[in-house]
Amino acid sequence: MKITFVSSMSLAACLAVLTTGCATSSSGLKAKTVPTSAFLENGAGMRPKRARAPFNAVWVSPKFEAVRGTYRGIAIAPVNTQYLRPVNRPLVTMLEGPKAKDRPVAGTAAVVHAAFSDAFRHAPGGRYQLVSGKGPRVLRLELALVELNPTNVVGNAVKYGAPGGTIVAPAMKGNCALEGKLRDSVTGELLFAFADNEQDKFGISLRDFSSYGHARTAIKDCAKQFAELMRTPASHKVEDSSSVTLNPF
Domain locations in the chain?
2-237
Write down the pLDDT at residue 88. 76
**Short-list 217, 219, 173, CA closest to 196:** 219
C-alpha span between 197 and 57 (Å, rounded): 10
Query: How would you classify the pairing of strands 57-60 and 73-76?
Result: unpaired
Instruction: Return the half-sphere exposure (C-beta side, CA atoms, 13 A cut-off) of residue 133.
Output: 1
pTM of the complete model: 0.79
Write down the pLDDT at residue 33. 87
Q: What is the pLDDT of residues 22-62, one digit of tens each?
A: 333 344 556 688 999 999 999 989 999 999 999 999 999 99
User: Which portions of the chain are predicted below pLDDT 70?
Assistant: 1-31, 89-100, 126, 152-172, 201-210, 242-249
Write down the pLDDT at residue 16. 36
C-alpha span between 44 and 62 (Å, rounded): 17
CB of 12 closer than 8 Å to CB of 244: no
DSSP H helices, the chain, are 2-19, 22-25, 64-68, 90-96, 105-121, 153-161, 213-231
Write down the pLDDT at residue 136. 95
The neighbour count for residue 111, using CB atoms within 10 Å, is 20
C-alpha span between 145 and 13 (Å, rounded): 32
Write down the pLDDT at residue 215. 87
C-alpha span between 80 and 1 (Å, rounded): 47
C-alpha span between 30 and 199 (Å, rounded): 7
Q: Computed from CA positions of residues 12, 201, 230, 195, in that sequence, does the dihedral angle turn out positive or negative?
A: positive
C-alpha span between 36 and 176 (Å, rounded): 13
